Amino acid sequence: MQRIVVLAGGIGGARFLRGLKSAVPDAEITVIGNTGDDIHLFGLKVCPDLDTVMYTLGGGIHEEQGWGRSDESFAVKEELAAYGVGPEWFGLGDRDFATHIVRTQMIGAGYPLSAVTEALCDRWQPGVRLLPMTDDRVETHVLVDDADGGGRKAVHFQEYWVRLRASVPAHAIIPVGAEEAKPAPGVLEALAAADVVLFPPSNPVVSVGTILAVPGVREAVAASKAPVVGLSPIVGDAPVRGMADKVLAAVGVESTAAAVARHYGPDLIDGWLVDTVDAGAVPDVEAAGIRCRAVPLMMTDVDATARMAAEALALAEEVRA
C-alpha cells in the first residue's frame, strides 16, 4: 500500500486532500496539520486548520465558505455579543463551538492535542490519519506597525488575517513557541516511512512554513528518501484565494510560482507543479534543480483536484526513477 504524507494548512490543504483520496482511494494518507493558526477564544482552544481538514474530509464543512460547519447558526456568538464579549470578528458557529468545547475539555483532562484530534476524528472519519504538527503550543504572530507608538507590535495571526484582512504591512512572521516544540507522536515516524511526501497548495509561509519550523520536521523532509512534490498555491502571480502574497512579501519572497519553489528549494522538494498559465516558469524552476511540470491547478471540483493529485504522484514517480 502506498504511504503518502501531506503537510497541510486549512482550505487549500483540505480541498487537495479530498482530491487525493479520490485519486488513490487505497493509499494510506497521513496528514501533518498546521497548528500555528490555533487561538484561544472564550476560554476554548480553537484549531482552525485541523478542523477544516476534519470537516472537509468528514462531510461537515460549509462548502462555499471553505471553513466552519454546514447548516450553521450563531446563537452563542450573538448571546456573547449581547454581554459585550468578543472578539466579534472571529466566526464561531454553534455547531463548531461543540468541537472546541470537547477539545478544551479533553486538554483540561490532560490529553495531548494529538489524542484529542484522534478522538474528534472518531466522529468524522476523515479517511486519513490526521496528526497535529506538534502537541506543544505554537502560535503564529505577525509584526505590524503600531498605530499609537510609532514602533511595531506583534499581533496574533488570526487578528492580522481575519480582523485586519492582511491590509497592513507585515514585517515579520513569528511562529511563537516553535523553537521549543517537539513534533507530535507519529509525525517523524510517518515521514520516515513515507513513499511520497506532498506539499498541497497551502500557504507556504503560515501553513507549510510553520509545520517545517517545528524542529526535526524540515530535517526529516529533507532527509526523506521518498520524493517530495509540491503544488503551487500561486497561479498567475497571485494567490488563488486569500492573501498569501502579503505573508510571502514579509519573508522576502515574490508571489510567483517559481519564487515559491525556490523558497522551498531543491534541498526540500524534488518536484513542483505550476498551473498551465505559469508554464513559462518551468525552465526557471528546473534551473534551480527542481523537476517541474505545468498542469491545471484549479481545484474547481473533486475530479479536477483528483487529476492534480494524480499529476503530483506521477511527478513523484518521475523523480524517483
9 near Ca ion (CB under 5 A): yes
- What is residue 1's three-state secondary structure? coil
- Give the three cell numbers for residue 122: 472518531
* Binding residue for ligand GDP, selected from 41, 162, 298, 310, defined by CB under 6 A: 298
Q: Is 51 annotated as a binding residue?
A: yes
H helical segments located in 47-186: 48-58, 75-82, 94-108, 113-124, 157-158
The bridge status of strand 196-199 relative to strand 234-235 is: unpaired
User: Which three cell numbers, joined as nine digits, stand for 160?
Assistant: 492580522
Give the helix ranges, DSSP H, for 144-237.
Answer: 157-158, 187-193, 208-212, 217-223
For the record, the C-alpha cell of 166 comes out as 492582511
Residue 183 contacts which entry, ligand GDP, Ca ion, none (Cβ below 5-8 A, type-dependent): none
Q: C-beta of 85: minimal distance to ligand GDP in Å?
A: 26
68 near ligand GDP, judged by CB under 6 A: no
Q: Would you give the binding string for ligand GDP spanning residues 247-286, x where CB under 6 A is met?
A: ----------------------------------------
Instruction: Give per-residue burial for 150-183: e unless 16+ CB within 10 Å, then b.
Output: eeeebbbbbbbbbebebeeebeebbbebbeebeb
Please, what is the minimum distance in Å from the beta carbon of residue 139 to ligand GDP?
14
Q: Select the binding partner of residue 235 from Ca ion, ligand GDP, none (C-beta < 5 to 8 A, by kind).
A: ligand GDP
Give, as ranges, the residues between 111 and 170 that touch ligand GDP (CB under 6 A).
none
Q: Read off the DSSP letter of residue 183.
A: B
CB of residue 260 to ligand GDP, shortest distance in Å: 9
Give the footprint of Ca ion on residues 48-87 (CB under 5 A): 49
Beta strands in 221-316 (DSSP E): 228-231, 234-235, 238-239, 271-274, 291-294
Which of the listed partners (ligand GDP, Ca ion, none) does 61 bind, with a CB threshold of 5 to 8 Å by partner kind?
none
> Residue type at 108?
G
List the x/- string, 37-56, binding to ligand GDP by CB under 6 A: ------------x--x----
- The piece of 119-127, 129-137, 293-301, 312-320 that touches ligand GDP (CB under 6 A) is 293-301
User: What is the SS3 assignment for 43-77?
Assistant: CEEECHHHHHHHHHHHCCECCCCCCCECCCCCHHH
What is the rounded distance in angstroms from the CA atom of residue 100 to the CA atom of residue 117?
A: 11
Under rule CB under 6 A, residue 93 binds ligand GDP: no
Instruction: Provide the 3-class DSSP secondary structure of residue 132.
Output: strand
Binding residue (CB under 5 A) for Ca ion from 31, 37, 126, 175 = 37
Q: Is 33 in the site for ligand GDP (CB under 6 A)?
A: no
- Indicate whether 297 belongs to the interface with ligand GDP (CB under 6 A): yes
Which member of 29, 194, 198, 299 binds ligand GDP (CB under 6 A)?
299
Binding residues among 208-247 for ligand GDP as defined by CB under 6 A: 232-233, 235, 239-242, 244
At closest approach, how far in Å is the CB of 206 from ligand GDP?
A: 7
Residue 297 burial by Cβ neighbours in a 10 Å radius (0-12, 13-18, 19+): buried
Contact residues toward ligand GDP (CB under 6 A) are: 8-13, 49, 52, 201-203, 207, 232-233, 235, 239-242, 244, 297-299
Q: Which residues are at the interface with Ca ion (CB under 5 A)?
A: 9-10, 37, 49
Residues making up the annotated binding site are 51
